[in-house]
Structure 1
């Protein structure tokens, strides 16, 4: 895997000037519409050529400008107390907006709001949908996608949990973990947009069991590196729906659930052989692609019947036992 340079910066908002770069690399014209001090924060995360921006501000504003001269930007309104108008559409929390390169964008936020965007070169986004057989011009025009209520709430909740870790500014990511985080952020938007696409006829699977077996071999070759579903779809040239059907028919569980369980089993193995005095559960979880600690702990306990910390403590005796022979040699040798 190529080295991914990861940087993050957080900028306090104390005036409209601070909001000019509402999206990494943009230069908006911002006008404050309501009286009072404008406060908030901007967080920019860069992983290689991929960037993410999270903005929170306290007052009504009008913004105008080009989102990016060369990048495709996807945006999600996270929260807001009043209706917003953007791209001549009403916007509600959980809506997904598409901004092609060089697009002149304007919006009115009628009160406090928060949002998140991801930006990348168009081919990088196209790779995520390469096997989905979607319209070729999907990301060449501005658009807004409104998901079904229940799905919108779930995707927004998942997204908020991931970006909470980014906003803390404490993530220390290996190249593998950074790649998985980037794929996870893209996938939130990808799954949302796919939910808005018209249904297609199921793709027949003639060799589902073989596909599952090939995927498992691929995962074994990756070692401890977390493998994202978008990586698998790209590697085998299959759509998410085809992959899902193959796993469901072969193992009785979808690929996302299977990949999650495989990562949880890897974490359990690490915890059982780790020294509890120097081991941080959150660090291990992040390295295996779990950026939401609460959700990770819930998944872990549901699968193994104990918390990650309990596994670590249980393994403490085994760890000390394996160290005794060395200690004895030092004491008596």
Structure 2
């Protein structure tokens, strides 16, 4: 990820590879805008709603969000100070509620406007890379002015817009957020479906519908992805002890080693034993 601070606006350029979940909360002092710089439709799901390549996501301050991606995605993000008038004008009136914890805005952009917005941002990054240090304050103001012009154009030329959550997603969002927050407090502990059902106080069928509507997959698959990632990071890190792969898998609740190895290779492109050997070879300096 690359980051660039202009006069008052922060630009970020990022790349995410492979399937994954991004859940978090936006900065309380900024309105945040995100759009794909890649060109994939329906590869990203925001709170259960598939995002098209031309969709601009607008997050109010202190906003919870959950992105699910099914493959490689490149993106650009802009963080605008709350006091900027353009930041306030980009948001719908509904986000002025007392507690905009989950209010999001999805704007479908005309392709020329989206391309121009991304190009202005990339040009700012190139200009800063090539300029002398003394010239940067002026260039920051010019780049920010160009960006604000593009955002004003977006404000006036929206093809369509939607507001999240709505009456169809709000109850499911609450269930999924409670589930994710519960699992997050368990860090590296083994978590079972029954634990999530108990924490969210709903029946399993309701939990299943909420996950499938909001994340696009079941709680069982979510826990499998969590287990796979925990095992990967445990195998990769240097814990200062001679712990074998089988011990690590067992500690994370793996009982069917062959099936788990197949899921692991599908996600990470190698077997757990290969990750183990590679990570230790890297730390010992035996790999170029």
User: TM class by shorter-chain length?
Assistant: 0.3 to 0.5
The structure showing larger relative contact order (alpha-carbon pairs under 8 Å, at least 6 residues apart) is: 2
> Which TM-score applies when normalising by structure 2?
0.45
